[in-house]
């Protein structure tokens, strides 16, 4: 890996982390401990920071103590650019889950769509939230957590939606951090898939970001989500940067 690749990877790592902020964050010797509650893994995980870090054994102990205070099972996010935690987690019986890919491209090389049916707003409407919760089946606590997360976002942001038959059926949001558009929460109602609505929604988000001054775009997609990867490829997310996975200790039955 070249120095420039390493710089880009860590730049994307930070932008994506800030695109979905956690309610509580604590830095422990070069490791970021994040906690929000709910099921979403990223804002409830241990993450390595760039630069000098404490050894994985020390970070493991700090993380277990941190999450014990909240009554949560520790969850570790292990990116391939800093994977030293894997060996310690192997010894402690942590299983692997959620393999994910970071995709990236320069924004001038991506598909930018302008569709009058797509609405762009700097804040999420109640209808936008309703669509998100309908697509993801959030319970009341998770709805509250997600709403609070959107208020913590720093930087230019856009919440996009597409309506059909009088309701929102496709959504996404984007955040610009350090010149990078971070694409998040892409979803289409199951009854309206295969109609190009996801591509139109994200394409409008890319167009918004270019006009707002972003130079590139990035996102995270589950490695085995073939339909999502095809959608993003059609928009120009052609460069894979690095991968990550999560480690969680199995709970005895």
Q: For the chain of 253 residues, list the mean pLDDT of each consecutive stretch of 10.
A: 77 98 97 96 98 96 96 96 97 96 97 88 97 93 97 97 93 98 96 92 96 98 95 96 94 55
Q: What is the CA radius of gyration of the chain?
A: 18
CA 206/CA 125 separation, integer angstroms:
20
Residue 117 pLDDT: 86
User: Which residue in 190, 177, 248, 249 sits closest to 219, CA to CA?
Assistant: 177
Q: Please give the CATH architecture assigned to the domain spanning 105-241.
A: 3-Layer(aba) Sandwich (3.40)
Which residue intervals of the chain bear CATH 3.40.630.30? 105-241
Q: Which residue matches tokens 């969850």? A: 75
E strands in the chain: 24-28, 31-35, 46-48, 75-79, 94-106, 118-121, 156-164, 167-177, 180-188, 216-222, 239-249
CB-based contact 44:247 (threshold 8 Å)? no
Neighbouring-strand partners of residue 180: 177, 216
C-alpha pair distances (Å), 221 with each of 7, 15, 218: 21, 15, 10
CA 61/CA 64 separation, integer angstroms:
5
For the whole model, what pTM was predicted?
A: 0.94
Torsion of the alpha carbons at 140, 142, 143 and 146, rounded to the nearest 10? 160
Strands 239-249 and 94-106: antiparallel
Residue 49 pLDDT: 98
Residue 115 pLDDT: 84
CB-based contact 206:217 (threshold 8 Å)? yes
CA 110/CA 123 separation, integer angstroms:
25
């Amino acid at each position: 890996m070249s120095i420039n690749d390493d710089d880009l990877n860590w730049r994307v790592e930070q932008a994506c982390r800030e695109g979905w902020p956690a309610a509580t964050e604590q830095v422990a010797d070069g490791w970021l401990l994040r906690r929000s509650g709910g099921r979403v893994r990223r804002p409830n995980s241990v993450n390595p920071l760039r630069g000098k870090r404490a050894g994985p054994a020390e970070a493991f102990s700090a993380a277990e103590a941190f999450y014990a205070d909240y009554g949560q099972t520790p969850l570790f996010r292990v990116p391939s650019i800093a994977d030293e935690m894997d060996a310690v987690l192997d010894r402690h019986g942590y299983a692997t889950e959620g393999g994910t890919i970071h995709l990236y491209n320069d924004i001038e090389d991506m598909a930018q769509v302008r569709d009058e049916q797509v609405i762009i707003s700097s804040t999420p409407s109640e209808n936008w939230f309703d669509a998100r919760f309908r697509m993801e089946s959030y319970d009341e606590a998770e709805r509250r957590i997600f709403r609070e997360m959107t208020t913590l976002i720093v930087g230019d942001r856009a919440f996009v939606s597409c309506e059909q038959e009088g309701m929102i059926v496709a959504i996404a949001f984007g955040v610009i951090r350090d010149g990078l558009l971070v694409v998040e929460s892409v979803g289409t109602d199951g009854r309206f898939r295969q109609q190009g609505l996801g591509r139109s929604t994200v394409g409008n988000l890319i167009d918004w970001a270019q006009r707002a001054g972003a130079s590139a775009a990035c996102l995270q997609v589950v490695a085995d989500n073939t339909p999502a990867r095809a959608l993003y490829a059609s928009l120009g997310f052609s460069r894979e940067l690095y991968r990550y996975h999560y480690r969680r200790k199995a709970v005895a039955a």
